[in-house]
Amino acid sequence: MSGKAVILNSFGAPNAVLQVVSAPRPTPGPKQVLVHVKLRPVNPADLFSVMGAYPGFAPKTFPATPGLEGYGVVAEVGAGVTRVKVGQRVSPFFDTISGHGSWQEFIVIDEQALALVPDNVSDESAAQLIVNPVTVVLMLKELKIPKGEFLLQSAAGSTLGRQVIQVAAAQGIKTINLVRRSAQIDELKALGADIVVSTEGLETADAIAKAILAATGGKHAYGAIECVGGVTTAAITMSVRHGGFVLVYGAMVGMEGTVHVPSFIFRDVTYKGFWLGSELARMTNQQIQAVTSEVFELMSKGIMVPNSGEIFPLDKVVEAVIKSNATARGGKILIGN
């Protein structure tokens, strides 16, 4: 029995390099599991992977298969496997560095590299376990924002931004949320956002920072997360408290961001980069299992619900990629089989 796989033989634009091919069904060895991958999201990092701009996808040889995360069902187990059984739902930790990603139907995974999906977590949520939800939980742990204080975030309308709103609200943390379109304001408030500020028409860091402080009545955020870059980075620098801490985890508008130097000098504001790949590399398997269990508990309770959108078949991977870049696409684009 064979399956399908998305491959690339070189880095480049997704519509130019992605191919769907027939791939043999592998056989699991001792302590290994064959997973039939059923569903996987299209994340921005997946597109950067295909273009050769993401360090979490660095195959030394081609062809390679992208895909940072996904959900599947155990199809076969190797000798000595005790954690899972055939038919069990799992979210694997794929070996994306080597190019063995989730955009394929069948893949062999070590049994310890599987997160077991609870019955009351949907397939769509299970497929999005790692990239956004685990990032949200780990960033909130690092920021240590007290109950009742403000967390400031850019790109609040993104899938990750919505999850930040949900989890922060459950923890008693108030949120200030930057969006690029005013149409998103009511939608995010319905999710539990305390303050939503649209940057539509605001072209300078000073203008954005003034809008934030006006919305809070002059109160600075305790800490912040930032993924936009450009003048937004400086605006966030200006909008956190004296001694505030900012985690930078992305650069949506380009690889450069401006900063507000007086905030560093006179207000002791600190910036630090956050990349999930580095965080996971520093964690033990036990710690990784603990954080995925925490995420699944949040999902099970309806606190963290990934915003899922249209599902494309694997054969239509290029169409899925194109739709994932559309404005107001209606949730995370997913690829089925």
Structure tokens at 71: 């959900």
Q: How far apart are CA 49 and CA 27, in angstroms?
A: 27
Q: Which of 54, 71, 222, 271 is catalytic?
A: 54
Sign (positive or negative) of CA dihedral 218, 223, 225, 231: positive
Position of tokens 């399908």? 4
* Dihedral sign from CA coordinates of 37, 42, 46, 51: positive
- For the question of residue 54 being annotated catalytic, the response is yes
DSSP lists the bridge partners of residue 39 as 71
Copy the structure tokens of residue 169: 């609200």
Dihedral, CA of residue 85, residue 87, residue 92 and residue 98, to nearest 10? 90
Phi–psi pair at 319, nearest 5 degrees: -65, -40
What is the dihedral sign for C-alpha 277, 15, 160, 130?
negative
Q: CA-based angle 232:234:240, to the nearest 5?
A: 100
E strands, the chain, in order: 2-7, 19-24, 32-41, 71-77, 89-92, 106-110, 114-116, 150-153, 174-179, 195-198, 221-226, 240-248, 270-273, 308-312, 332-335
Give the number of residues written for the chain: 337
**Which residues are known catalytic residues?**
54
